[in-house]
Amino acid sequence: MKSMAELTLALKKILAGLLNPRFAKGTSLAVAACVLAIAQSAPQIELPPVHLDAAGLTPRPIEGLTGTTIARHYALAWHDLEVASESGRAEGLGEEFVGFAKDRLVKRIAEQNQTGVHVHIVDHGHHLKATFYSTDGTAMQLLDQVQLEIQTFDGNKLLDTRNAPHEYIVLMTPGADRWYIRDLEEVSARR
């Protein structure tokens, strides 16, 4: 790959060409190629698998793109939760968690930091079942069945490992460019 200085110089030349209407079409193609090259060179994160089942959902069905977006943002949220739990840094939770869900997780991470432990989560995948989607599209309730391996550490010393199924009730709402997790509550914790 070319150096960052060469890439910057090439982008400057391309942007200068944008001002010339004769070259706008060709320049747009070149800009798109540069953006693609930069995106492909960026490190890729490994997201946990998420399968969304929306069959028979009422009062309204989920559109295909909406379902894909929900699954992607849910996977991003769990990736961020794994990173934040292991690092002990609530800032790692990212933008997918908001409201009650974020408040609870920030509190849990702060409690871990007070006790001096951290948690490593090995996520084996999520099976989301959409149980409700509001007619105006502003809220969706899901049931998440997930297999998690949760390892608790004190420094580098492994204290406990639990590999078990977990079930969560999830409330998601749409934003301008993503779906947010507003509430994430473990079902077994409610009993």
Kindly report, residue by residue over 52-108, the tens digit of the pLDDT.
Answer: 999 988 888 899 999 999 999 999 999 999 999 999 999 999 899 999 999 999 999
pTM of the complete model: 0.74
Residue 153 — very low, low, confident or very high, per pLDDT cuts 50/70/90? very high
Distance set, CA 135 to CA 1, 132, 176 (Å)? 49, 9, 18
| Structural domains of the chain, with CATH | 4-41 (no CATH), 50-190 (3.10.450.240)
The per-residue pLDDT for range 116-151, each reduced to its tens digit, is: 888 999 999 999 999 999 999 999 999 999 999 999
Q: Are 106 and 125 in contact (CB under 8 A)?
A: no
- Reference 84, options 112, 124, 58, 125; nearest CA is 112
Give 129's strand partners.
53, 143
Q: What is the pLDDT of residues 76-92, one digit of tens each?
A: 999 999 999 999 999 99
Contact (Cβ atoms closer than 8 angstroms) between residue 75 and residue 48: yes
